[in-house]
Amino acid sequence: MMMRGSSYTNYPALRYCSYIIGSTRLGSAAVLATMVHQYPFVHGWLTVKSVLHVVYIILGMRAAGDGAELRAHAR
């Protein structure tokens, strides 16, 4: 939406949707890990999954930014 210059990117509900989804996924992964008694940094696969969830959230925050970099490249 940002590349097309859509005005929908200014709506707060759409802007913060990726933050909410990412945080919910990370929280549910933490709850599931405690329920099955498998913890990050003890089990390798869960460590990788947890780290990749954090990377996913950070990349989503960068992708849903205000578009300043996109506008700078367009000049």
Q: Are 29 and 53 in contact (CB under 8 A)?
A: yes
Residues 7-20: tens digit of each pLDDT: 666 677 777 787 78
Taking the CA atoms of 34, 35, 41 and 42 in sequence, report the sign of the dihedral they define. Answer: positive
Q: Are 44 and 52 in contact (CB under 8 A)?
A: no
Report the distance separating Cα 40 and Cα 35, nearest Å. 13
Model pTM above 0.75: no
Residues 26-64: tens digit of each pLDDT: 888 888 888 888 877 787 888 888 888 888 878 877 876
Q: Name the token pair of 33.
A: 């890990």
The closest of 50, 44, 16, 18 to 31, measured between CA atoms, is 50
